[in-house]
């Protein structure tokens, strides 16, 4: 069965410092990986995805993620954190058993990122 793990419930970072939010996955076949962000009382907003190609994926708001096949990881990173980055971050893998389109997303448990001034 496909699964995603986010080992940290919370990550605390000082503004201006680099941040990393960790994600590991378990899939059969090639993974389709995603990061979403959820601000308080809001829906899930897409940040970035990895389907194929370069292992370093760049996304919205200056975020990037590094796909590492040998470590089955897809950590989210940003070189310089902003207070406004404080939110709940979800890593997800798409169930690829439904062909190349569609397929449910399987989410990690989420990581609360807190950036302090």
Partner 1 sequence: EPEVTQTPSHQVTQMGQEVILRCVPISNHLYFYWYRQILGQKVEFLVSFYNNEISEKSEIFDDQFSVERPDGSNFTLKIRSTKLEDSAMYFCASSGSSSLQFFGPGTRLTVL
Which residues form the interface with partner 1 (CB under 8 A)? Answer: 32, 34, 36, 42-46, 49, 51, 90, 92, 94, 98, 100-110
The β-bridge partners of 64 are 58, 77
Kindly tell me which of 32 and 74 has the beta carbon lying closer to partner 1. Answer: 32
Question: What tokens does 50 get?
Answer: 């990895």
Cβ at position 94, least distance to partner 1 in Å = 5
Cβ proximity of 7 and 24 under 8 Å: yes
Kindly tell me which of 45 and 84 has the beta carbon lying closer to partner 1. Answer: 45
Cβ at position 117, least distance to partner 1 in Å = 26
Kindly tell me which of 59 and 81 has the beta carbon lying closer to partner 1. Answer: 59
Cβ at position 34, least distance to partner 1 in Å = 8
| Residues 104, 70, 19: CA angle, nearest 5 degrees | 75
Burial of residue 95, with CB atoms counted within 10 A of its CB: 0-12 exposed, 13-18 middle, 19 or more buried: middle
Kindly tell me which of 6 and 115 has the beta carbon lying closer to partner 1. Answer: 6
CA distance 73 to 42: 27
Cβ at position 20, least distance to partner 1 in Å = 20
Of 33, 65, 37, 36, which is closest to residue 52 (Cα–Cα)?
33
């Amino acid at each position: 069965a496909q699964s995603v793990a986010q080992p940290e419930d919370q990550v605390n970072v000082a503004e201006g410092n680099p941040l990393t939010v960790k994600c590991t996955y378990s899939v059969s076949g090639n993974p389709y990986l995603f990061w979403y962000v959820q601000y308080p009382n809001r829906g899930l907003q897409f940040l970035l995805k990895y389907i194929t190609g370069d292992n370093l994926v760049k996304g919205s708001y200056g975020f990037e993620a590094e796909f590492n096949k040998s470590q089955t990881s897809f950590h989210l990173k940003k070189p310089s954190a902003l207070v406004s980055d404080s939110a709940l971050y979800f890593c997800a893998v798409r169930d690829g058993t439904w062909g190349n389109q569609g397929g449910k997303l399987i989410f990690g448990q989420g990581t609360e990122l807190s950036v302090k001034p």
